[in-house]
Structure 1
Amino acid sequence: MRVSLLTNGPGELWGWVRPVAMELRRRGHSVSLWLLPCPFASGHEREAASLLGIDKLEGPSGGPDLWRAMADERTECVIQLGGDMMFGARIARSARAPLLCYTYGPKKGLKGARVFTAFPSQARAIPGARAIGDLVKDALLLDAAQPPERGCPTLPQEAPGREWAHPKEGFRVLFLPGSRPSIRHAALPWLAAARAALRVRLPRAEVRTLFPPFVPEAELREWDDAGLRPVRAPAGLVMRDADFALTQPGTNNFELMHCGVPSLVVAPESFLDLIPIAGLRGVLASLPLVGRGLRRAAAQRILNRWNGVIALPNRLTDRRVMDELYGDVTPEQTASRIAEDLSDAGGLARAREELLALSGQSGAAARLCDAIPAEDGAA
């Protein structure tokens, strides 16, 4: 069977598409992948996608050429794994193929699609959705497979080495600066200041900074020069070695949850101008006089929708399973909160327990592929 996958951002590509593409290939299906326009893109999506062993790769591109090319796609099933649903509907309608969608939350254009999500609480918020588990957990298991599972795409090796020696009477703290170059650029001095402040409070704490695939070597050297010890390696290996993590809102919140890593999720107000916004609002948000107000309003709407929480695991439970800070947050305040969290051994143990309890079962990719209608039209 020919199956078309659609995706957009780096988290969806490596965390969702990768396990689904591998499962489809294992079942003998032909797989094409469309990389959609995305304001959150890292710029390295095509390079990463080329490792997936798919039969056809399109994009990233936009405009009339993309729209016309989608009308010519010949496929028997469309699976949307991120991005605007109008693209999946375009291919499905032209090819007269069923449309499946995996999403963490409600979005426009789901009518007419079979919808799947990760967790029961998410399914309750999406009409007609079925919870099948988190694809990100499947991706982490691919990372941790030793030796790597046959056909599993691997990442470029990190520099410097991944191994951590457990510091005596200290902690292993993992920083995650994200996949977007503009935010990483701003985060470097901010995280360097946080590390310096943390060393004052916890001199024996050892910090590593985890990078996504295909970050240039020159950028890694900048982070190494700043004392932030960059590591470019599969998340499923590095995260499990950490005692604690400092991160921002995003897919890696679920990665840390599945690995049982107590974490502090931080969203400093000073980074607000660097967060991309899709569509017309994104164009307006780029204007110098009105942009910041629009971004503040968008951020407040998100907080109101989720009862004032920003960490993804906290949204599943409406309570703080992960610690979080947002607003006018400084590196020094962040370091103080990390030191405070690490001083509470009981709290760390409870956080690990709760995070792993939320993780759920693996096998989401297999369950999603099981839902593909058979070629004769039977479900």
Structure 2
Amino acid sequence: MEKVDIVILSNGPGELITWVRPVVQQLRQQAKIDLRISVILSPCPHATGKEVAIATSYPEVNRVQAPEYFWRFLLWGKTAENWHWYPQGVVLFLGGDQFFTVVAGKRLGYRTVIYAEWDARWWRWIDKFGAMKQEVVAQVPPKYADKFTVVGDLMNEVRSQNLEFRIQNSELGSSNEVISQKSEVRSGFSNGESSVELIGLLPGSKPTKLSLGVPLTLAIAQHIHKIRPQTKFIIPVAPTLELSTLANFADPKKNPAIEKMGGVGAKLLTPSLDSKETESREQRAGWEIKNPKLVTTGGVEIELITRTPAYDLLSQCRLCLTTVGANTAELGSLAVPMIVLLPTQQLDIMRAWDGLPGLLANLPGVGAAFATIINWLVVRKGQLFAWPNIWAKEEIVPELMGKLKPEIVAELVLEFLSHPEKLVEMSDRLRSLRGKPGAAQKLAEIVLSLNRE
């Protein structure tokens, strides 16, 4: 059987989860040849250090190289473990810098494919492009247009994966009801409820965001619960985040920012109870702990969802409170209404910027001062940060920036919950932004077709 190497260039956790995952699944499903899939990671300012673990967890992937060895590979074509390469192969760009694809293709002597989300570069030296929209192709000189195929939006694979999950796990007999989104799927909560008023909390996965995001969302949840005690809350925990780390940001003794963000802390409760005494106490309180929980000082329970991806639960949320980042793109592709929170109580904390601002903000010693100045300028500029708003070039999901007060944000959430037609309108606008699912299948077809030419 013919043997072919597929080399995937990627970088951050968002790209690995939302781009790489569906594409490698499709490559394996469609391949009628012996594929060896390798993921080579490049350095990323948003990296968490667990990218190798994420890529390795995909059963379709044969081998993964960490980002610290990337430059050696790019310059000399050598991997850290001196990988063997088949004579025939394809380099596929799914994150990083598109120029890396040109160099890697030359080093290995392989054909090249780029997934172009918003723009396409290096058309002379790349064999094929999979474009998200026709607008990407329109920016290219006509003589290179035949290299392009509009495949659609890889982010929309999130929605199709969620629909597949709902069909497979529906307790109803008719999949048509699921597809029309009229059915209710059991949420997996410990109380077994199938239809709840659910709010998702996505405070981030990095310390710079968690230090403010965790106490802010906890305080907001507590304010909402006072008015609408029927509301349930979840935190889909990022695969790169340990529960103990998350709990530390909810501990007033370990996170001084809690006092500035509403003064609401929380304790972690896990299914593995420490003693029979603890178990008896929780049973008396009427709790049945099957998922870990954060329980706030006011007694509000927030269930921690550790399986990834938790698209089935996110799609059931009436609304999500989220920080900026790839999660806004995922929620947008699921058409889940959201409010984006950018608290500035401590301007020196937010340092997750790209390019030169990010480098300056993270310099030893003086980084905090640079971060304060940069964030102050950003606040004044009033630019858009949530991906759906960037795509639409206008604010279709609210972005709240400044010294946010939990009770004020909670009032906005309650306003939306009291007027569900506003949430429906937001969801419809999110759904209209992106194309139809199927991009991963089409992109895999392009990659595999190069081996037949």
Q: Into which bin does the TM-score normalised by the smaller protein fall?
A: 0.7 to 0.9
2:306 to 198, 208, 232: 232
Whole-Å Cα distance in 2 between the matches of residues 275 and 125 of structure 1?
A: 33
Q: Which moved more, 1:33-42 or 1:369-378?
A: 369-378
1:185-229 deviations in Å (ceiling 9; x for gaps): 432212111112222343332211111225324246546143432
> Does residue 350 of structure 1 match 2:425?
yes
CA 1:60–1:3 in 2, change beyond 3 Å: closer, same or farther? same
Deviation at 1:373, TM superposition (A): 6.8
Report the CA distance between 1:295 and its aligned residue. 4.3
1:347 Cα shift?
Answer: 1.4
2:195 aligned with 1:166, yes or no?
yes
Give the distance between the partners of 1:163 and 1:112, measured in 2 at CA: 55
- Look up the match of 1:145: 164
- Report the counterpart of residue 63 of structure 2 in structure 1: 56
Alignment partners' CA distance in 2, 1:41 and 1:180: 9
The residue that corresponds to 1:34 in the other structure is 40
Check if 1:102 corresponds to 2:115: yes
Q: How many residues align?
A: 361
- Which residue number corresponds to residue 153 of structure 1? none
Q: Which amino acid aligns with 2:444?
A: C
Q: Which amino acid aligns with 2:305?
A: V
- CA separation in 2, counterparts of 1:62 and 1:277? 23
> Which structure has the larger Rg over C-alpha atoms?
2
Partner of 1:209: 235
Partner residue of 1:2?
5
Does 2:354 align with 1:293? no
Residue from 385, 397, 400 that aligns with 1:310: 385
| CA deviations over 1:82-122 (Å, ceiling 9, x no partner) | 11334333211212323322243348767734444434556
Greater displacement, 9-18 / 96-105: 96-105
**Please, which of 98, 120, 123 is the counterpart of residue 85 of structure 1?**
98
Give the match for residue 435 of structure 2. 360
2:18 is matched with which residue? 15
**Which residue of structure 1 aligns with residue 152 of structure 2?**
133
Partner Cα separation in structure 1 for residue 338 and residue 440 of structure 2: 26
Q: Contact conserved, 2:158 with 2:333, CA < 8 A, in 1?
A: no
The match for 2:206 is: 180
Instruction: Determine the structure 2 residue equivalent to 1:198.
Output: 224
Contact 2:351/2:358, CA 8 A, preserved across alignment: no
Describe the shift of the 1:55–1:63 C-alpha distance in structure 2 as closer, same or farther (beyond 3 A): closer
Q: Which runs of 5+ in 1 are unaligned?
A: 149-157
Q: Taking structure 1 as the reference length, what is the TM-score of the superposition?
A: 0.81
- Paired position in structure 1 for 2:360: 284
Aligned partners of 1:89, 1:298: CA distance in 2, in Å? 34
Deviations 1:347-374 (A, max 9, x none): 1222222323334311101111222374
The Cα shift of 1:259 comes to 2.5
Which amino acid in structure 2 is aligned with residue 224 of structure 1?
Answer: L
Please say if residues 15 and 94 of structure 2, whose CA atoms lie closer than 8 Å, have aligned partners that are also in contact: yes
Give the counterpart letter for 2:68 in structure 1. Answer: S
Q: TM-score, normalised by structure 2?
A: 0.69
Residues 61-93 of structure 1: per-residue CA shift (max 9 Å, x gap): 246544456456746211111113343332112
Q: Distance in 2 between matches of 1:6 and 1:255?
A: 21
Note the C-alpha offset of 1:242.
1.0
Question: Residue 255 of structure 2 aligns with which residue?
Answer: none
Change (3 A) 1:337 1:104: farther
Q: What root-mean-square deviation, in Å, do the aligned CA atoms of Structure 1 and Structure 2 show?
A: 3.3
Residue matched to 1:332:
407
Structure 2 equivalent of residue 154 of structure 1: none
1:60-71 mapped onto 2 (5 Å cutoff): 60-62=67-69, 64-68=71-75, 70-71=77-78
Residue aligned with 1:11, SS: helix
Q: 1:43 aligns with which of 39, 49, 61?
A: 49
Preserved contact between residue 182 and residue 274 of structure 1 (Cα < 8 Å): yes
Gap runs ≥5 in structure 2? 170-186, 248-267, 269-292
Check the 8 A contact 1:177/1:211 in 2, yes or no.
Answer: no
Aligned to 2:27: 24
What's the counterpart of residue 259 of structure 2? none
Quote the Cα distance in structure 1 between the aligned partners of 2:112 and 2:320: 37
Which segment is superposed worse, 15-24 or 326-335?
326-335
1:166-186 deviations in Å (ceiling 9; x for gaps): 34xxx3111112232442243
How has the CA–CA distance of structure 1 residues 82 and 351 changed in structure 2, closer, same or farther, with 3 Å as cutoff?
same
Q: Which amino acid aligns with 1:141?
A: S
Quick one: which amino acid aligns to residue 235 of structure 2?
T
Separation in structure 1 between the aligned mates of residue 7 and residue 337 of structure 2, nearest angstrom: 37
